[in-house]
Amino acid sequence: MHKSRKLIALMICLFFVVALAGNFGVVAHAENKTKYDIGTDTTFAPFEFEDVDGKFVGIDMDLLAAIAKDQNFDYTIKPLGFNAAVQALETNQVDGVIAGMSITDERKQKFNFSEPYFDSGVVMAVRKDNDTIKRYEDLKGQRVAVKTGTEGYTFAESIKAKYGFTTVPFDDSSQMYDEVKTGNSVACFDDYPVLAYGVTQNNGLKLVTDKEKGGSYGFAVNKGKNQELVEKFNAGLVNLRNSGEYDTIMSKYLGESGKGAAPVERGRWELISASLPSLVKGMGNTLLYTLVSLLVAFVLGLVFGFMKVSHNKLFRGIATVFVDVFRGIPLIVLAFFIYFGIPQALDFKMPLFVAAVLTLSLNAGAYVTEIIRGGIQSIDPGQMEAARSLGLPYRTAMLKIILPQAVKIMIPSFINQLVITLKDTSILSVIGLVELTQSGKIIIARTFQSFDIWLVVAVMYLIVITVLTKISNRLEGRVRRG
C-alpha cells in the first residue's frame, strides 16, 4: 500500500511537470510564429463565405488577407462553423478567430480581442409576404429563430419575456432564414449587415425594424496565447484605415447603401452546374473518410472481435468495455471530445483528418466488433469441438473452418455498416469537416437556394449509396457461391 501511494504521488508530480513544460513550450514557440491557423465561419455572408470558385471571400477574409500582407505573416483558414471556431480557439486548435465575433464582457474573460473593426447592430426580419408582424409587440405567442452565439441571439433572449415569444436556436444563418421562410417561425433576429446583405441577395425575407444599437466585431486569440498576432492585426488595421483600403473592402461587399451589392441572377440549372464542382469535391472527401475509417474500424473489429470470443476473461472484459463505451457515446459527442476535449487536456493540436478518422473508426469499430462476434458465435459450437477432437489447433480450426462460414453471415452487416458510416460523415461537419453535407451548407450560405442544393446533395448520396450497395451485394453473392 505504501509503495502504491508513492507511485501515485510520483505520477501526479510527473503529470504536472509535463503539463508545465508543455505550457511553457507553447508560449515560447508562439512568440516566434510567422504562420497561424485562423478559424472562421464560412456561412456568414458578407463577412465570410465561399465564392463559386471555392475561395474564401468576404469582409473578414479580405481584411485578414490585407493585414497579413501588410504585417508580413502567413495564415491558413480553418473553415469551421461559428460555435466550432470558438471551441477550437478555446482548446488551442486554432491560433485566432475572425468570424464576425462580437466583443462582449463574457468573451473577454476567455479571449483577447483586437481593436473593433466593424460596428454592428441587430434587426428583425420576417418572410417577404408577411404583413402581420411589423413590431416586437406582434411576436406574442410566436416562435422566433435566432443564431447561437450572435448579438441577435442575445438581444432576442433579453426581450422575449417582455414581448412573450419563444426562441428557436440554429447554428448558421441560412438554416435560420429557412425556418422563417417555411413558416415554422414568424421572424428572426440577426446582425444588421448580415440580414441586410441577405435581403439584397433575395433570401426571401424583409427587414421590419430599425437597427438596434449593438456591439462591435473583433479578431480574437486565446488568453495568454499569440498576443503578438493581435498586435499585428491592430497595426495592420490602422494602416488599412489610413490608406483607404478598409473603405474599399467595405464598399465591395456592402455597396454604397451599406446593405450589400446587387445579386447575381442565376437560373436553377446554372446554379446547380456552378455548384457541382464543390459538391463533387465534398463527395470525394466523404468517400475518402468513409473508406479510411472503415479500414481502421475493420482492424479494430478484428482485434476486439476475437478478444470477445476468447476464453480469457480479461480479453473479453476489455473488448466489452470498448464496445460499450464507443457504442454508447453519440457520434457528435465523441467528435467534440476527440477534436476539442483531448487536445485541450493534453495541450496539443490535433489535425482535423486525424480527429475525423479516429471518431468514425472508434464508433464503427465497436459495431464491427459485434458483427464479427455475432458471426463467429452463429456457427454451431459442435464444429469447433469436432475440429479440435480431430487434432486441429484452435487457431487453425478458427481460420479454416469457423471463419469461412462466419464471413458469409457477416457480409450483409458489413454492407449495412458501410452505408451507416458514409452517412455518419455528415455529422462531422460540426467540427469543420468539409464533406458533402458541409459543402451544401456553404453553397446555401452564399446563394440562399436551399431546395435546389439539398435536392442535389440528397440525389448524390442516393446514387453513391445505391452503387456501393449493388457492388457489395454482387460481392456477397460471389462469396456465397464460393
Cα 364 to Cα 305: distance, rounded to the nearest angstrom: 13
Cα 337 to Cα 331: distance, rounded to the nearest angstrom: 10
Q: What is the mean pLDDT of each run of 10 residues along the chain (482 residues)?
A: 45 42 40 79 86 87 95 91 87 91 89 93 93 94 89 90 94 87 93 86 89 89 91 95 94 71 70 90 95 95 92 93 95 93 87 94 96 93 89 87 88 90 91 89 85 94 92 79 68
Which residue type occupies 261? A
Question: What does CATH list as the number for 36-117+221-254?
Answer: 3.40.190.10
How much is the pLDDT for 259? 56
How much is the pLDDT for 473? 81
Q: Where are the domains of the chain?
A: 36-117+221-254, 118-216, 268-480
How much is the pLDDT for 7? 43
Q: How far apart are the first and last CA of the chain?
A: 59
**What are the grid coordinates assigned to 331, written together?**
457520434
- The number of beta carbons lying within 10 Å of the beta carbon of residue 154 is 17
Cα 340 to Cα 129: distance, rounded to the nearest angstrom: 43
Question: What does CATH list as the number for 268-480?
Answer: 1.10.3720.10
What pTM value is reported for the model?
Answer: 0.76
**Which is the CATH superfamily of the domain at 118-216?**
Periplasmic binding protein-like II (3.40.190.10)
Cα 302 to Cα 375: distance, rounded to the nearest angstrom: 12
Fold match, 36-117+221-254 / 268-480: no
Q: How far is CA 7 from CA 2, 12, 15, 18, 341, in A?
A: 9, 9, 12, 16, 27
Q: Is 408 helix (H, G, I), strand (E, B) or coil?
A: helix
Tell me: cis bond preceding 116? Omega within 30 of 0 counts.
no
Of 416, 304, 286, residue with least CA distance to 356: 286
* All residues at 6 or more sequence positions from 128 whose CB lies less than 8 Å from its CB, including other chains: 204, 205, 206
How much is the pLDDT for 207? 92
